[in-house]
Amino acid sequence: MRRILILWLCTASLSAFGERLSNPRTEERVGRLIRNMTLEEKIGQMTQRSGRGGVKAFREEIRLGRIGSILNEVDADSVNALQRIAVEESPNGIPLLIGRDVIHGFRTIFPIPLGLAATWNPALVEKGARIAAVEAASSGVHWTFAPMMDIARDPRWGRIAEGFGEDPYLAAVMSVAMIRGFQGDDLSGPASLAACAKHFAGYGAAEGGRDYNTVMMSENELRDVYLPPFRASVDAGCATFMAAFNELNGVPASGSSFLFRRILRDEWGFEGFVVSDWASITQMVPHGFAADHKQAAEKAIRAGIDMEMQTDSYVAHIRELLDEGRITMAMIDEAVANILRVKFAMGLFERPYTDASLFPPLLNAEHLESAKQAALQSAVLLKNNGVLPLSGNLKRLAVIGPLADAPHEQLGTWVFDGRAEDAVTPLAALRSRLPNGPHVDYVQTLAYSRDRDTRNFGRAVKAAKKSDAVLLFLGEEAILSGEAHCRADLNLPGAQDALVDAIRKTGRPVVLVILAGRPLTIGHLLDRVDAVLYAFHPGTMAGPALADLLFGTESPSGKLTVTFPKVVGQIPMYYNHKNTGRPPRAESWVHIDAIEVGVWQTSLGNESHYLDAGFLPEFPFGYGLSYTAFDYRNLKLSSGTIRHGDSLTVAADIRNTGSLAADEIVQLYIRDRVGDITRPVKELKGFRRIRLEPGETRTVRFTLKTEDLAFHNRKMEFVTEPGWFHVWIGPNSAEGLRGEFEIVQ
């Protein structure tokens, strides 16, 4: 049966417009309130304190109007008690703003953002954020410090887990989706959270993938690679921004008026407020950018940091800085106005208290089902020799490894309110398929991912030998990624590699399921297993999702949003790289082991590659397999030549040539052949997840506008230049149907 459905697909809009925070009524209320506030109260609005259960200490300060926001208090009753003091006893009754890191779920935990990104499904990501907002708001939270949208090209960096990967376009689409989910249709709604675009900016480019480390980059790179998700967030109405810890070209972000006044306010028109990161203001002293906390406070206020998280340089020094004329009251009033604008927009003055009875229960069936769907769609099939999906009539299954039944680990990093006891592990899910499903022999073998004790290998091998197939659940504990948790070696930790070898020797079919917070170097394992399913850290519903994938209830459909290097030495490695003057070619590369002894210095290919690791990644950006196969044909362009302001439609037919219905993520890439500065060899400009029945063909159409092809030239003008472009529609960044078109003046 051949059904051709014409789908007119526009590339996901990056400039979704959210509601404006500023309007005449709000500005009038803000101005009136500020005129009634003392300096002490103004400084109070600029001060955020961490609760962590110690909020009783703040009662008096709240009563005096010396605190404007609390983070890490997530009990509705205690939040309401503190709020009552602020609203009913402080001088101007300004409500507190309660913040929390609700990064990938509140109590129902979704896959880590790097996994969510691998769904390439903005609607699903938005729904997950909506669910997180409902659960967090029911506990008194008003503001989440998410989405984290730092572009990351270095998997050694622990926080690669928290973002959406290496591509500016995809990260922008996912950031907007998450902001919409958190903030909902009405920021003043009871179940809306103010979102926070973080960390502004360039944090993911930390030298060596070492967290908090130095960032040096050109303004072109900053504007065309690292800023697009933040720009899209402003356009989507994101209520707050957070300053990054790192310095950018010698200036710590928390002291950068280039970032927060010139770009964020003057160029982008941001109307919300900026919060520092935890102690990022006073850290300008160890950065060597401020002599002491007083100077740090001055530099942060001048840079446009409205609120100080946790430290007290504002409380301690603003009065002196004003007296000495080093800052002005206008600067203070501007910061306070930004904060009050968001509090008014959130309806906190009208509705300061949380009524938990208005909310659905945490972890309800709908929330858990959405978390399962996200986990299903986030898993990426990297290898399959046909062993998957597992047959329904398997009799014995050996389930081996430290991550098969590790409920805390599967939740991943940045989980404060999720609980291990809520998590359904792969082992539990597999066992629940009984009695229809196979008998499960479980051998944890290693107590945790870093464990080097091989004494249980014998039991694992014995179970494997008795089985029809082996499921190896390996990877990283949650603590091995996330903030400050960087790794210089990206192999599986502990004795896990050795465990793969031991199980491989049994000759049984082996499926390797990896739960990790980052890309790992697993190339040396690929010929030792029959299939690899990369699940990142899939969250509360990891087990049911992975069981459904392994037994073929649903086909894996996730695709990588970060490049997987062969070895750490290749890093940084990313798909949207420049071509260089000597791009590598397979025919020019001689593997280090194949070089003849004594050859002349000039006898090898002089191109940009490694003698020992070549120039290709293990798996490219956008890569992911399915249980079926998709054929791409008939690339068509609406024209070979377009003018500025025109649109070009690019279409291709995608056919499911296999026997299983499945999703495919169709990707659109371009290359600008010649530019005022060199351009990447490929840039993602659109994508679409489609469902195809066996034998079904669908024409997928993308619309490219000339402004989608703009970049910053040497004069820092955002321009689309005339000239030739390549365009691809394909299944990943390394394959696809290629066409070309010209933009003419």
Residues that bind ligand GLC (CB under 6 A): 101, 145, 198, 277-278, 483
Which conformational region is residue 401 in: left (phi greater than 0), alpha (psi within -120 to 50 degrees), or beta? left
Run of H or E including 4 = strand 4-8
Classify each residue of 242-260 as buried b or exposed e, where b means 16 or more C-beta atoms within 10 Å of its C-beta.
Answer: bbbbbbbeebbbbbbbbbb
- CA separation for the pair 417, 539 (Å, rounded): 12
CA distances (Å), origin 611, targets 575, 583, 584, 607 = 20, 14, 11, 10
Residue whose CB is less far from ligand GLC, 145 or 200: 145
Measured between alpha carbons, how far is 183 from 177 in angstroms, rounded to an integer?
A: 10
Nearer to ligand GLC, 245 or 725 (CB): 245
At 343, which amino acid appears?
Answer: K
Q: How far is the CB of 285 from ligand GLC (least distance, A)?
A: 17
Least distance in Å: CB of 480 to ligand GLC?
Answer: 17
Query: Which residue minimizes CB distance to ligand GLC?
Result: 145
Alpha-carbon distances, residue 578 vs 675, 678, 702 (angstroms) = 12, 7, 25
Element (H, E) at 129: helix 122-137
Q: Specify which residues 361 forms β-bridges with.
A: none
| Least Å from the CB of residue 90 to ligand GLC | 24
Asked if residue 100 lies in contact with residue 156, where contact means CB atoms within 8 angstroms, the answer is no
By beta-carbon proximity to ligand GLC, the closer residue of 202 and 565 is 202
Nearer residue to ligand GLC within complex by CB, 278 or 551 = 278
Identity of the residue, 145 or 534, whose beta carbon is nearer to ligand GLC in the bound complex: 145
Q: Are 316 and 294 in contact (CB under 8 A)?
A: yes
Torsion angle, alpha carbons of 403, 407, 413, 418, to 10: 170
If you ran DSSP here, which 8-state letter would residue 272 be given?
S
Other CB atoms closer than 10 Å to residue 484's CB: what's the count?
Answer: 9
Structure-token match 């907002």, residue found = 133
Residues 6+ apart with CB under 8 A from 81: none
Dist. CA 191–CA 175, nearest whole Å: 19
Question: Measured in Å, how far apart are the chain's first and last C-alpha atoms?
Answer: 45
Please give the positions annotated as active site: 277
Describe the crossing of helices 329-345 and 313-323 by its angle, rounded to 10 degrees: 140
Residue bearing tokens 């300008």:
284
Q: Angle 721-561-204 (CA atoms, 0-180°, nearest 5)?
A: 80
Residue 680: CA count within 13 A, CB half-sphere: 23
Burial 670-709 (b: 16+ CB within 10 A, else e): bbbeeeeeebbbbbbbbbbbbebeeebbbbbbbbbbbebb
